[in-house]
Structure 1
Amino acid sequence: MGTNGEHRVGQTPPESAVTEPLAEIIDPENFTPRLLALLSNALVWRESHELRRRFGLGTNDWRVISAIAIRPGVSATFVSGFLGLNKAVVSKSVSTLVGRGLVVLSDGPRGSRPMYLTAGGAQMHEDMLPISMRGQEIILADLSPQEIGRLNTLLRRMLEKTRELRVLESEADAAG
């Protein structure tokens, strides 16, 4: 196929290939999960690119710094759940941040050690914050305060429904 999804001239599809669009498909211009994913991907790419360019750190590193800024003394296990990130991803970011002198760990078992920003980490948070907030500005630019409140309420409700669904699917997997 060519880059636009069309067959290239002169190419014959395999005999078993379905060459016509299916009758029941998703309308890509009005499928909300696709639009949300595209928006999220674009915002994360922009943020990550800028954070790497300016600070040599990525979005996951920023998220860990931000989580520690919100709750000094949190554990990596808490941060993983709070951010919805794999523990290995959080562990890698924590190692990077400790290595850069931006985060310090207290004593305790691995994964449950309290983490704190250093003065350098607090400064890094302050420096990185406007880059992240720019994504917020892009999303909210055309919304009234009431619409913003409603949007955030709806997004929190949708997140809760996905968590509930994940629990139900896990229980079904365990039973089946």
Structure 2
Amino acid sequence: MPSDGHESGVLAAVANRRSHSQVTAEAPTQAELLPLVAAAARAADHASLRPWRLIELRGEARERLGDAFVTASVCTDEDAAKLRRKPLRAPLLVAIVACRRDDTPVQVWEQDAAAAGVAHLLSLLLGAAGWGVMWRTGPLVRAKSVRLVHALAPSEELLGWLYVGGVPADCTAGNRAVIDPCDYLSAL
């Protein structure tokens, strides 16, 4: 099948993907984010359930998340201050929520995989649009106070946050080791 040139753009976006642990104070607007979310929704999704939702956290919402981190932890004042600052490392956090449904034969793990697929595609799309992105998780993802900040339903699980911001001018792309695909692809 001949290439229409579209595949090379996708391959380049994936090959150039990297996590940006530090970003600037710039962030995409909701209007800029919406078409990327629409495109990310094309991720593989068993039975087209769309078992996911995304939550934008900007401004004070990030501060409330930092407070929830502290509430969920037993720590010193110094550690509490560090925890409280974690959500402030990016101007935009996009929470990835798996919305698990039991009214379908689609297994929960498949529903979670669909939600993770949306998150990964969204991170690729944001990166291709010139934004710095890092998917962050950790033990506090499952904390009660963190669930409350996100107003999660009992059937929902937080899968982490995409930390999104501008790419610093002095950013140098990290080099990830290239794999030998033969080590990871086998046939039966």
The TM-score normalised by the length of structure 1 is 0.28
The TM-score normalised by the length of structure 2 is 0.27
Larger RCO (CA under 8 A, 6+ residues apart): 2
Report which of the two has the higher share of helix.
1
Report which of the two has the higher share of strand.
2
Select the structure of larger CA radius of gyration: 1
